[in-house]
């Protein structure tokens, strides 16, 4: 951006005829700006390298090492040393020392946890997108008390997830308000599907506001004239929604969904506090944490797998949906 601003300056300072020196000084400016930029960026990049890249590389190295300790399959003491890909096959093939992991051990839970993680991700993000869109459309309207609503949606967002978990744990207690209100007798956190839905509802409550605010920001970028013109042309409310609102809000929506998907894939706090991962509500993150105290290296393999899964999802998202979003943004601006 700033080079565009500087170009006229160099054009003014460089006398016409001496074109080479002018270009040279522009190049030099570019170089000094680049150097200045990296000087400013260095602390951040170094810090991130120390707190992220170093641990991740460390985890990858660890994941190819054996855990020392009693081998649960053979009963012999294992010394550690290189493990090859054993830690990975332990999880992915659910192999414990050459045989299938016995049910109940952490090794036997990998695919269940994977399925649970994706269940939570897909269901919560779908619900949050629909609800968030609805909230955003309401908040975009002009009415008395609009600022009250906009303030209110920030309340669930601001409450720490740990507190949210405990709050909904209380709401979903057997004698709690949820059962009272709906006149049901469900042991919400005591069996698989009620527990899963309790977690989903808590997550939707906590994070829909974030989604709604991102979508609202996208909605506010659409000029009113576009709607006016469509109305004059006789477009119905539904047509206006599908032909104008959806395509124009798509870039903001895609960013919001991407953020939420990646956040949901690493879900830990809610299930960890509400059910401790019991009744098949254990996510990949919970499984990693459970494994840490049974063996760092096996846990490191699982955390690496988790990281790769999240990375792949992000990559697919940006590659296929992101490209569309960028195109939509381009056409949106062109029109």
44 binds another protein (CB under 8 A): yes
CB 258, CB 317: distance < 8 Å: yes
| 108, 127, 149, 200: which one binds another protein (CB under 8 A) | 149
91 binds another protein (CB under 8 A): no
Element (H, E) at 78: strand 77-78
| 23, 24, 34, 105: which one binds another protein (CB under 8 A) | 34
- x/- contact string, 181-220, with another protein (CB under 8 A)? ------------------------x---xx--xx-xxx--
Nearest-approach distance from CB 175 to another protein, in angstroms: 4
3 binds another protein (CB under 8 A): yes
Nearest-approach distance from CB 17 to another protein, in angstroms: 25
37/264 Cα distance (integer angstroms): 34
9 vs 89 by CB, closer to another protein: 9
Nearest-approach distance from CB 111 to another protein, in angstroms: 18
Nearest-approach distance from CB 134 to another protein, in angstroms: 8
314 binds another protein (CB under 8 A): yes
114/109 Cα distance (integer angstroms): 9
Contacts of 153 (CB under 8 A, 6+ apart): 135, 139, 208, 209, 212, 213
Torsion angles phi and psi, residue 52, rounded to 5: -115, -55
Contacts of 117 (CB under 8 A, 6+ apart): 265, 267, 283, 284, 285
Q: Which stretch binds another protein (CB under 8 A): 47-55, 75-83, 88-96, 100-108?
A: 47-55
| 13, 18, 19, 52: which one binds another protein (CB under 8 A) | 52
- CA torsion 115→178→210→146, rounded to 10°? 160
257 binds another protein (CB under 8 A): no
317 binds another protein (CB under 8 A): no
97 vs 156 by CB, closer to another protein: 156
Tokens representing 48 are 């991130």
What secondary structure letter does DSSP report for 66? P
């Amino acid at each position: 951006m700033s080079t565009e601003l500087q170009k006229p300056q160099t054009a003014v300072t460089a006398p016409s005829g001496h074109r080479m020196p002018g270009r040279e000084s522009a190049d030099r400016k570019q170089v000094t700006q680049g150097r200045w930029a990296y000087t400013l960026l260095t602390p951040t990049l170094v810090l991130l390298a120390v707190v992220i890249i170093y641990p991740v590389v460390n985890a990858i190295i660890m994941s190819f090492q054996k855990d020392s300790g009693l081998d649960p399959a053979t009963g012999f003491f294992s010394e550690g040393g290189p493990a090859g890909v054993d830690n990975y096959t332990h999880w992915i093939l659910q192999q414990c020392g050459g045989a299938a992991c016995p049910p109940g051990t952490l090794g036997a839970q990998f695919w269940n946890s994977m399925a649970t993680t994706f269940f939570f991700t897909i269901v919560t993000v779908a619900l949050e997108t629909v609800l968030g869109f609805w909230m955003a459309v309401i908040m975009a309207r002009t009415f008395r008390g609009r600022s009250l609503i906009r303030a209110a949606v920030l309340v669930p967002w601001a409450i720490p997830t740990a507190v949210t978990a405990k709050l909904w744990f209380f709401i979903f207690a057997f004698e709690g308000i949820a059962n009272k209100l709906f006149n049901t007798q469900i042991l919400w956190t005591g069996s698989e599907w009620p527990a899963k839905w309790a977690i989903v509802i808590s997550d939707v409550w906590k994070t829909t506001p974030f989604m709604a605010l991102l979508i609202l920001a996208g909605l506010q970028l659409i000029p009113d004239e576009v709607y006016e013109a469509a109305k004059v042309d006789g477009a119905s409310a539904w047509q206006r929604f599908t032909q104008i609102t959806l395509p124009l809000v798509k870039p903001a929506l895609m960013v919001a969904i991407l953020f939420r998907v990646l956040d949901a894939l690493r879900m830990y706090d809610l299930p960890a506090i509400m059910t401790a991962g019991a009744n098949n509500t254990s996510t990949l993150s919970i499984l990693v944490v459970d494994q840490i105290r049974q063996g760092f290296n096996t846990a490191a393999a699982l955390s690496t797998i988790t990281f790769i899964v999240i990375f792949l999802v992000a990559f697919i998202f940006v590659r296929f949906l992101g490209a569309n979003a960028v195109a939509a943004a381009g056409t949106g601006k062109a029109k």
